[in-house]
Structure 1
Amino acid sequence: MWIHLNSKMILMECFIFVMITFLMTGARCEVPEVFAEAGSQAVLPCESSRTSSAEPVIIWSKANKGTVWRRQRSGLLYRGSSWSGKGTQRVHCPHTQFEGGDYSLQINNVREDDGGVYTCSLDFEGQVVTKVVTLRIIKVSFSPEALVSGMDFSVTCNVTPWAHGASMQWMLNNSPFVPQTGIPVDRYASKSMRKKATEQLTGIWTCVVAYKGKEWRASATLSVRGIIQPPNDNTKVYAAVGSAVTLPCVFSPGITPSLPVWEKLQSGSLLKSVPGHLSPSFSPSSQSPELPWDKSASLKEVGFEDEGRYRCSATVEGQKLSRNIQLVVAQIDRSVSSKKKDSVTLTCQLSDASEVTDYEWVYVTYDINGTQSVRPIQKGKTLSISQVSEENWGEWVCLFSSKDGMLGNVTYHVQLMSGLSGQKSSGFSQNTGVVVGLSCLLIVLLLILAQMYKNHQRKKRIFQYPALETIVHTISNEREERERNHVKK
């Protein structure tokens, strides 16, 4: 009770002193003001040049809240019950600074309700020195705190207690916040703004409070759950003809999207889809129990006709989220020179080359161990080579990149092309005689084998009747003998 009465008397004396000084001199009592961000440390100044052989009684109190921190001459310390809960000591007055006349109060992890008017009372054996300090807490908050893309939310900057005459400015990711109207928010903007949660609004929101020529800041990070890959609409994915590609559609971890759908959009449209026009090699997302937030799709073998825009959509907490992805397909076109039949021109062709700033051709070879060697050849979209030269047999790779880095590559195999060239036709004409000769020899061998088989079968049929053969042979001999005798007579 004595403490509460003492603090009230001190405040009343200060108020009377201020009023008398103001009425007599027209001056104004400047009360020190401290701004601090919620969660940080605040230091309330209290200094005195008075000297005493004994240390003074130090009393820090808050208006309408009683004693915050007190130290008796004996060294006994006391803290208010609301400042030392759960074993934590949020208020402290460093003893090492007392010798220099500094009795400032430190408040750790300040909260909004810590804002207000504080009084420092120093009792030097009957001589009382009183200091008054105003603590203002700045806090940035979002409502609701857990956001899904598309939800309405508000961002608020509270200064407790509010400083009349102060101005405020919003910043997002260290840049002045510019709303969709294109007009930056001025310093006298509202302390609260209502927006629709989008990926573009994620990041660090900072409230800059300007007061009496000084600035103080407080920040908070806004996280919006939704589709995190790809991070932006109309992201381009590059793939070569014949290769496999993944179209990413990954939601924030911890959420389970429902009713996932993949569509292909009509050419030149971001709204109309083409039902049933997905490629046969298109494989929608699998329902993986380990990664329920991954709804990516894939194409096992990309064709040039698969280029275009695709849309991935799903429902999260009642909000339908979607992301548009553009598939850019690359291939190498081959054309034969009309003047040089053995020379071909390779052209690196993309379905959308709007982001491409550089093309580079490299020659890739492999040794017997499968080790790859890459040799840069030239810059440019086209490349002319001789297809009959064995030095050019191998892989020719076109690398295409943008100002931000590599986008992709596409490969062409020269040995596959040379099999269709004039060199192969010339080789065919040289081997024609050999093939015809071998064919004739084979036919002769077949005829000989057929005759041998026929003779064998005839002998086989005769040997089946040996007695008949003996009779025929005897009759034939007797006939020949009679004919000889008849001639002699």
Structure 2
Amino acid sequence: MMLLECFMFGAIIFLMTGAQCEDIEIFANEGSVAVLPCTHKPWSSFPPAIIWSKVNKGTVWRKERSGLQYWGASWSQKGSQGSRIQCPHSQYEKGAYNLEISQVTEEDGGFYSCRLEFGAQFTESLVYLRIIKVTVSPPVPIWGRDVSVTCNVSPWPHGASVQWILNNSPFVPQTEIFANTDEAKSVVKEKATAKLSGNWTCVVSFKGKEARASATVSVKGIIQPSDDNTKVYAAVGSAVTLPCVFSNDLAPSSAVWEKLKPGSHFNPAPGRLPPSFSPSLSYSQYPWDRSGSLMEVRLEDEGRYRCSGIVEEQKLTRTMQLIVARIDRNMSKKQGSVTLKCQLSDTSDITDYEWLRVTYDLNGTKSVESIQKGKTLTISGVSEENQGEWLCLFYGKEGILGNVTHHVQLMSGLSGRKSSGSSHNTAAVVGLSFLLLVLLMILAQMYKNHQRRKRIFQYPALETIVHTISNEREERERTRVKK
């Protein structure tokens, strides 16, 4: 219909004046400044009269040769600080009489006419302004609900091709488009997920020209982790946080954590949470943070976990997998070595292992040395030089996934020098123990004699008798010797 109006309008101009109707296509983003071109080489040194009008809408802006300017009734009242319309006079000398419309809206789309009057002569040209924009419905979609992204062009250019770009990559809709029309392709309808978040750009190609409009889509829900079945790695005995963070302006109700029993991934049955599991204590201050934590990870804690919460009467859930890492130790007394093996409950995403040795000097300064690659490490001849912390790093396609630490300590029998030193120490301890025992026996005998004499001295008469008997015994012995 609009094309017919242009044809009729141009035909009337051509028949009445002999002037040509030049049709120019212009695209402008909604809210931007649209520049409608109107150029012509001046026919005299005097500026022409300029008349800009919109087809079927009347005059937009007009300037007489005297310099007086007039705005159409529907344009002069737009905004408290004046009209949205201007025609910069600084370009007149170059033969440019462009019309500038600021803050364009869908209603501004349509045919515009530029008429230049040079005395008795005049020329006229047509400009077709199309307003393009991208709309999102609902403006802030909730995870799991329907969302539509629409490319609006007013008026719509029949025969145009439409392409969608999401975060600088071409987007192919998952839902099937039944109507194979241009306008049908301009609408994308999907279930809201994190993959739809980002910058959407609509690219419209028409008559060799390309127009673009963009909008940002922000899907609200559980933003961390962003995908189901996210893997979390933790070492045995360590603490780990299982993230469950909603958009920061959401306050989910009925937040629940569950450990899922092994089995089907489609409808797994909830099991019992580990004894060391506890919900996040920060939800009172940050109601969108419903993370959980394990204070001390055990081997049996590995498996799948699920957190959930109610947002706007819709249940949002996220599943994640806890993968437990440990180091197995195997001692060989014959060879005097220790073998360390890095073990994980799930190695499907592991691409490589690396062993590091961590040491500390007398000042407590930490140093890290890379030893070797591989899952297994053999330490030959365990001694003071290689005792301490040994760290196993495990990698995935995107880099380091986690680590687990083992402490190597000296054991008697693994090092000949250490064993010899231990035997000398044992002999010394035995000798000192024997001397201490003899000393204790002597002290005990002296204490007994002292106690006996002490008891005797308590009775003087008994002391006299004992003394007399002792003297008589000595006298008899002397007499026997003389004979």
How far does residue 64 in structure 1 lie from its aligned partner after superposition? Answer: 4.4
Aligned residues: 467
Aligned equivalents of 1:58 and 1:21: distance in 2?
Answer: 19
Structure 1 residues 481 and 445, CA, compared in 2 at 3 Å: closer, same or farther?
closer
Structure 1 residues 470 and 237, CA, compared in 2 at 3 Å: closer, same or farther?
closer
Aligned equivalents of 1:76 and 1:372: distance in 2?
Answer: 82
1:251–1:294 Cα contact (<8 Å) kept:
yes
1:335 corresponds to which letter in structure 2?
N
How far does residue 41 in structure 1 lie from its aligned partner after superposition? Answer: 2.3
1:18 corresponds to which letter in structure 2?
A
Which residue of the partner structure matches residue 32 of structure 1? 24
Aligned equivalents of 1:353 and 1:184: distance in 2?
Answer: 43
Aligned equivalents of 2:84 and 2:192: distance in 1?
Answer: 36
Secondary structure in 2 matching 1:437:
helix
Within the candidate set 30, 37, 40, 1:45 is matched to 37
Identify which range, 55-64 or 454-463, moves more after superposition. Answer: 454-463
Secondary structure in 2 matching 1:96:
helix
**CA offsets per residue over residues 250-289 of structure 1, 9 Å max, x none?**
111122122221111223443324422x222222222433
TM-score, scaled to structure 1? 0.84
Aligned equivalents of 2:458 and 2:319: distance in 1?
Answer: 89
Aligned equivalents of 2:421 and 2:264: distance in 1?
Answer: 53
How far does residue 241 in structure 1 lie from its aligned partner after superposition? Answer: 1.8
Secondary structure in 1 matching 2:23:
coil
Aligned equivalents of 1:104 and 1:204: distance in 2?
Answer: 32
Aligned equivalents of 2:39 and 2:214: distance in 1?
Answer: 31
Secondary structure in 1 matching 2:318:
strand
Aligned equivalents of 2:176 and 2:158: distance in 1?
Answer: 29
Which residue of the partner structure matches residue 480 of structure 2? none
1:167–1:187 Cα contact (<8 Å) kept:
no
2:140–2:217 Cα contact (<8 Å) kept:
no
Within the candidate set 11, 15, 18, 1:18 is matched to 11
**CA offsets per residue over residues 68-120 of structure 1, 9 Å max, x none?**
33323333334445454132653221212111211011222321121122222
Structure 1 residues 477 and 369, CA, compared in 2 at 3 Å: closer, same or farther?
closer
Does residue 386 (structure 1) correspond to residue 408 (structure 2)? The answer is: no
Which residue of the partner structure matches residue 446 of structure 2? 452
Aligned equivalents of 1:274 and 1:422: distance in 2?
Answer: 51
Does residue 56 (structure 1) correspond to residue 48 (structure 2)? The answer is: yes
Does residue 307 (structure 1) correspond to residue 280 (structure 2)? The answer is: no
Identify which range, 56-65 or 128-137, moves more after superposition. Answer: 56-65
Structure 1 residues 396 and 419, CA, compared in 2 at 3 Å: closer, same or farther?
farther
Does residue 219 (structure 1) correspond to residue 234 (structure 2)? The answer is: no
Secondary structure in 2 matching 1:113:
helix
Aligned equivalents of 1:218 and 1:36: distance in 2?
Answer: 9
Which residue of the partner structure matches residue 8 of structure 1? none
How far does residue 199 in structure 1 lie from its aligned partner after superposition? Answer: 0.8
Aligned equivalents of 1:478 and 1:380: distance in 2?
Answer: 95
Identify which range, 49-58 or 34-43, moves more after superposition. Answer: 49-58
Structure 1 residues 154 and 88, CA, compared in 2 at 3 Å: closer, same or farther?
farther
The alignment's C-alpha RMSD in Å is: 3.5
How far does residue 347 in structure 1 lie from its aligned partner after superposition? Answer: 1.4
Which residue of the partner structure matches residue 107 of structure 1? 101
2:174–2:190 Cα contact (<8 Å) kept:
no
Secondary structure in 1 matching 2:284:
coil
Aligned equivalents of 2:327 and 2:470: distance in 1?
Answer: 90
Structure 1 residues 124 and 341, CA, compared in 2 at 3 Å: closer, same or farther?
same
Which residue of the partner structure matches residue 357 of structure 2? 363
Structure 1 residues 414 and 183, CA, compared in 2 at 3 Å: closer, same or farther?
farther
How far does residue 121 in structure 1 lie from its aligned partner after superposition? Answer: 2.4
Gaps of 5+ in 2: 478-483
Identify which range, 350-359 or 385-394, moves more after superposition. Answer: 385-394
Aligned equivalents of 1:296 and 1:420: distance in 2?
Answer: 48
Aligned equivalents of 1:442 and 1:478: distance in 2?
Answer: 40
Structure 1 residues 163 and 420, CA, compared in 2 at 3 Å: closer, same or farther?
farther
| 1:139-150 to 2 correspondences below 5 Å | 139-150=133-144
2:10–2:21 Cα contact (<8 Å) kept:
no
TM-score, scaled to structure 2? 0.85
